[in-house]
Every structure is written in C-alpha cells, then in structure tokens.
Amino acid sequence: MIRVTLPAHLRKLAQVDSEVKLDVEGEVTQRSVLDALEARYPMLRGTIRDHTTKKRRAFVRFFACGEDLSHEAPDAPLPQAVATGAAPFMIVGAIAGG
C-alpha cells in the first residue's frame, strides 16, 4: 500500500481529508504512483502533470524521505520506505508566492 499526501487544494478537488492510500501494480515509481492516483481520482488529471506530455507541472514538487525527488526520472524506483508504505510520497505545491 502506497501512501500519498496531497496539497490542500488537490485534497479538496479529490474530496479526501487526509493522505491517500493506493495499490500500485509492479515497480513503485513516480509514474506508477501517479498513474494509480489519477486512475482513482481522475479529477486530478492535469493538475500534477500535463494531460498529454505527463511532465510534472512546474510549481509541483515531489518529496519523500527528506529528499526532493522532483527531478528524478519518472521511471526510477522510489525509495524502499515509500514502496513499503512506511513513508508517504509527498506531492507539494512549490513555495513560489501566492
């Protein structure tokens, strides 16, 4: 079970109160986690990564285990603690004013 935390605006769109728990098939990567997230919460499509190119939106960051994973390859394995559910995969709005 993968744990994903969302920023407040996206929690509201997805109508969830707290972190999301997802089953992810196969290797746990950014892409597989986001695919599972968007499959379960389709209203989030386009809000985290582009509809078509699947590139991360510029002001969205991915953190886990105290590390910034935003610039890791989408198919790179996420940390073991994320894969086991011990630590959440954090989707965060960049601090850029607003």
Minimum distance from residue 79 beta carbon to other proteins (Å): 24
The smaller minimum CB distance to other proteins, of residues 62 and 87, is found at 62
The smaller minimum CB distance to other proteins, of residues 54 and 83, is found at 54
Minimum distance from residue 86 beta carbon to other proteins (Å): 25
Cβ atoms within 10 Å of 51's Cβ, excluding its own: 9
Rounded (to 5) percent helix, strand, coil in the chain: 25, 25, 50
* CA-based nearest residue to 4, from 13, 55, 16: 16
> What angle (nearest 5°) sits at the alpha carbon of residue 43, between those of residues 5 and 92?
30
Alpha carbon distance 54, 77 (integer Å): 17
Minimum distance from residue 47 beta carbon to other proteins (Å): 4
The smaller minimum CB distance to other proteins, of residues 60 and 81, is found at 60
Give residues in contact with other proteins (CB under 8 A): 7-10, 13-16, 38, 40-48, 51-52, 57-60, 93-94, 96, 98
